[in-house]
Structures are given as structure tokens and as C-alpha cells.
Amino acid sequence: MNVYHVLKELIQRITKGVGYVGMFLLIPMMLLISTEVTTRFVWDRPIPGTLELSSYMLSIFVLLGIAYTQQAKGHVRVTMLTTRLPRRLRLVLEMLTTILSLVIIAVLAWQGWVVGMEERAVSDMLRIPQLPFRLLVSVAGFLLALELLIDLVEAGMELARNDV
């Protein structure tokens, strides 16, 4: 096995593990919201800070799952026109869109880090610092960029083969 395959396997395992952590956070979020709805309507006593906590948990879920979604090819793709194109042209277009996505995600990760390091705000009710959640944008962007890089290399290798 060459270095590329070892790195690809490592990146995909990390991405999958991080995605699973995000998925696991849905359980406490579901329990918190269910309990809050029950206490609000049965005893007329809502749980303070539920909206803040569920918002933070949802942001963690989305950010930690975005790279895994790319790995699983779960993002929305409109292929109505590209399926009619020759395979080589389709791969070239896929590589171009992946490069464009890489540039955008790299800027997002970089600015997520810059903005996150400057963040000193806390949430209104529970006083939870926003710094870790802002920095999570750069971590998620970095993992997504790695997944996009894998896709770019795969498309390039497929394009380099003679049977395309």
C-alpha cells in the first residue's frame, strides 16, 4: 500500500469518527428538547437555556458532519447536464468544481480561525463562550478540504487512466 492510500484511509477514519461524534450529539439534544417541551406544557416550567444549548449542539452536529457528508457523497448534486457529457469532460468539470470548492473552503477555514481567535463573546443566558464553536468552523473546513483533496486526486487519477 502506498503513502496516498494510507493517508486517505487515515483522513477518512478521522472524518468518520468526527462525524460520529456529531451524530452522537443528536441524542442529548433530542432528550433536552423533549424534556423542555414536556416541562413547558405539563408543568408550565421551561428549562432555562434550552434554546442556546440546542443551537450550539445543532451547530456542532452540522459542522462535524459536513466532511463526512462529502466523504459519503451525500451533498446535493445536480447532474442533469453533466451525465450527458463525455466521461473525460465530466471528470475535468468535476476537478474544476472541486478546486473551486477547495479554494472557498480554504478561505472559510482560514477566516474561521482568524475570527475564532478574536472571539471573546459569551451566550446571553448561560454565558457559554463562543470561542470553541467559532474555532470549530475552521476545524470542519480543514476536514472538508482534506476530503475535497481526496476527491480531486481520485478524479485526477481516473482522468490519467487511458480507459476514460
pLDDT value for 123: 84
- Over residues 94-151, the pLDDT tens digits come to 999 999 999 999 999 999 999 989 988 888 888 899 889 889 999 999 999 999 999 9
pLDDT value for 79: 82
Domain that holds residue 24: 3-160
Given a cut of 60, whether residue 164 has pLDDT beyond it is no
3-class secondary-structure state, position 154? helix
pLDDT value for 76: 83
Domains held by the chain: number: 1
What mean pLDDT is predicted for residues 79-83?
84
pLDDT value for 74: 86
Q: Taking all residues of the chain, what is their mean pLDDT, rounded to a whole number?
A: 91
Contact call for residues 16 and 59 (beta carbons, < 8 A): no
What mean pLDDT is predicted for residues 37-45?
91
pLDDT value for 162: 67
116 CB-near residues (< 8 Å, 6+ apart): 131, 134, 135, 136, 137, 138
Q: Which residue, 71, 145, 70, 66, is CA-closest to 107? A: 145
3-class secondary-structure state, position 129? strand
What mean pLDDT is predicted for residues 18-36?
92
